[in-house]
Amino acid sequence: MTRRSIGIIVNGVTGRMGYRQHLVRSLLAIRDAGGVRLPDGTTLWPHLVLVGRSEAKLREIADRHGLTDWTTDLTSALARDDVEIYFDAQVTQQREKAIRQAIEAGKHIYTEKPLAEDTAAALDLARAANAAGIRTGVVQDKLFLPGLRKLKRLLDGGFFGQVLSVRGDFGYWVFEGDWQPAQRPSWNYRASDGGGIVVDMFPHWHYVLAELFGEVRSVSATVATHIPQRVDERGRPYAATADDAAYAVFELAGGVIAQLNSSWCVRVHRDELVEFQVDGTHGSAVAGLRRCRVQHRAVTPKPVWNPDLPATEDFRSQWTEVPDNEEFDNGFKVQWEAFLRHIAVDEPFPWDFLAGARGVQLAELGLVSAREGRRVEIPELSL
């Protein structure tokens, strides 16, 4: 069997996402499985060049995983002929500069979201990559979650009739960092460092809504910084200047209304950290990260409002579990494999920089809506 090596720079590999989801759960998992199988029987073998700021941390990660190729010098890594792909999981603020360098170097580019800090920059990157004939991709991992794959299956099978609305709840309590360490990095809570839940989550909401229910046509958002002071990784108090909760309504092409709460200041009384309820004329579904449950119109009970009596029905038990019917792999890994096939054999890959720019645009206009207290229409973006 022929094995073709494909050189990939992994920048930001010491971070939460770069290490866990991209290096360990995706790229190393792909190597453990023998590479990515191509239609002609060849396997693609990711050769990893780890890039970061700290020599000590890179060496430690490389040693831990038996890797030998790492550097703190991005420019020299980009100059290598045996590297085809640049991947970026750095903090958002460092991304645009590095991606511009990678475009100059003529590398194909895959990146974490958000693509850039504002729409103009994201669109400019998309145009520059397009002009340079470079292939691009942006992480849209939520599409590959088992719960959302099952939801897509229901939509494709016509289960809902006409979809009316989507109600989503995302979030959990992120500790303030004083008496228990916070479970997210402190830059997430500083506007000046590219933090904020809108910038973090609206790019996800964009592709989830657009791919499943219809392109987003407008946004009305209210945002808050509920916890104004937090304590950072070194135990120092700091002012939390970025939004830590967003309450938004999105109108979609085709008339579906989506209402999504995103918050790092809620305690979870749900089955999963994100859940979407979809209500349609013929049926409803509640999808989480892994599970998806449905209720069809033919078996919908008829509750009658009477606050004088205790609830007699166990509403949750009236829903049916959607079966897996297939094996679900890690979503980040599945998307990496698709991107690698896109580079190697031209397999279609719709989640490019333009798609990423639309996610950035939704975050930007969500913040405009919140600041100006009004509903904001989303103009179409094109190259």
Ligand X SMILES: NC(=O)c1ccc[n+]([C@@H]2O[C@H](COP(=O)([O-])OP(=O)(O)OC[C@H]3O[C@@H](n4cnc5c(N)ncnc54)[C@H](O)[C@@H]3O)[C@@H](O)[C@H]2O)c1
Q: Which residues bind ligand X (CB under 6 A)?
A: 12, 14-18, 52-53, 89-92, 94, 112-114, 139, 141, 185, 200
Nearer Cβ to ligand X, position 84 or 200? 200
Tokens 């839940």, residue located = 197
| Residue among 165, 140, 126 at smallest CA distance from 280 | 165
CB count in 10 Å sphere of residue 291: 16
Helix 353-372 vs helix 197-212: crossing angle, to nearest 10: 120
| Residue among 36, 342, 154 at smallest CA distance from 351 | 342
Nearer Cβ to ligand X, position 90 or 262? 90
Nearer Cβ to ligand X, position 89 or 208? 89
Nearer Cβ to ligand X, position 113 or 358? 113
Nearer Cβ to ligand X, position 43 or 94? 94
Amino acid identity, position 231: V
Give the shortest CB-92-to-ligand X separation in angstroms: 4
Nearer Cβ to ligand X, position 213 or 351? 351
Looking at the DSSP assignment, which residues form a beta bridge with residue 49?
9
Q: What is the largest CA-CA distance in the chain?
A: 74
CB 321 within 8 A of CB 147: no
Nearer Cβ to ligand X, position 17 or 38? 17
Give the shortest CB-19-to-ligand X separation in angstroms: 8
CA distance 64 to 23: 12
CB 111 within 8 A of CB 139: yes
CA distance 86 to 107: 6
Give the shortest CB-322-to-ligand X separation in angstroms: 23
CB 176 within 8 A of CB 182: yes
Give the shortest CB-297-to-ligand X separation in angstroms: 34
Residue nearest to ligand X (CB): 15
DSSP for 31-51 reads HHTTSEEPTTS-EEEEEEEEE
